[in-house]
Structure 1
């Protein structure tokens, strides 16, 4: 195989690999799409029609060339003239935080932001792995000392 053939073959393979690395995330805001509050309340067939999904690398501008991930932001927004709103925003992120989930509270809202790194992972309310590890250790300790 000539050098040119090898180069073309390598470029084709890299094209497929980079496409496989595109992360897909739910992309919605419950302010204008109530299905965004709990996307798991709908069957997969219905969900695919009412909650947008994006491939972050092709849909979102990335100013720094960072790796994308999925993000879910849950907020309680306070209003002086009416009751508080619960808002959920799902989308893509590119600036990673040191924690998988972190609080973002101030005088006008309470919020928690979680980041995850698999397709469609911003759909769930599941516990992050570090929380599961802590719970496992706690229950293992209880069982050990109880016997």
Structure 2
């Protein structure tokens, strides 16, 4: 192996190992709009907010992720609620992909999102996690080096 090949393996290994720490130390907004003023209006760049916290807790050996739940009781004024938290039990999507789902009934509207990058449980739009982007970049580089692309 050449020195540049060794360096590539070291760099890729370091990036790969850093993915584990990314997942284990995810930081999410943790609040609910009933008890915490300003919880409903958070923006991605609000990382100085008192509600932006590291996911600490007993996650039963599962990797924590960020969750946002929006509920509203139909035909009831001021019934909209937003709950932001760390989660560990995946709902409906058992991959590590960001995703949202609706669960509306006759009288309650509910939207639940789960995502895997810091501060991702803030906006209406879920973006790809940083880990997904890094993994894709690594795979493209490896395939390029192997001459597969």
Aligned equivalent of 2:102 = 103
Deviation of 1:48 (Å): 2.2
> Are 1:65 and 2:61 an aligned pair?
yes
Richer in helix (by share): 1
Asked if structure 2 preserves the Cα contact closer than 8 Å seen for 1:71 and 1:92, the reply is yes
> Are 1:91 and 2:88 an aligned pair?
no
TM-score normalised by structure 1 residue count: 0.59
> Are 1:37 and 2:40 an aligned pair?
yes
Asked if structure 1 preserves the Cα contact closer than 8 Å seen for 2:28 and 2:120, the reply is yes
Stretches of 4+ moved more than 4 A in 1? Answer: 16-20
Summarize the Cα distance change of 1:104–1:34 in structure 2 as closer, same or farther, 3 Å threshold.
Answer: farther
TM-score normalised by structure 2 residue count: 0.58
Summarize the Cα distance change of 1:121–1:127 in structure 2 as closer, same or farther, 3 Å threshold.
Answer: closer
Deviation of 1:54 (Å): 2.1
> Are 1:77 and 2:76 an aligned pair?
no
When Rg is computed on C-alpha atoms for both structures, the one with the higher figure is 1
> Are 1:114 and 2:113 an aligned pair?
yes
Q: Which stretch of structure 1 is more off in the superposition, 101-110 or 118-127? A: 101-110
Give 5+ residue unaligned stretches, structure 1: 1-12, 130-147
Give 5+ residue unaligned stretches, structure 2: 1-13, 94-98, 129-149
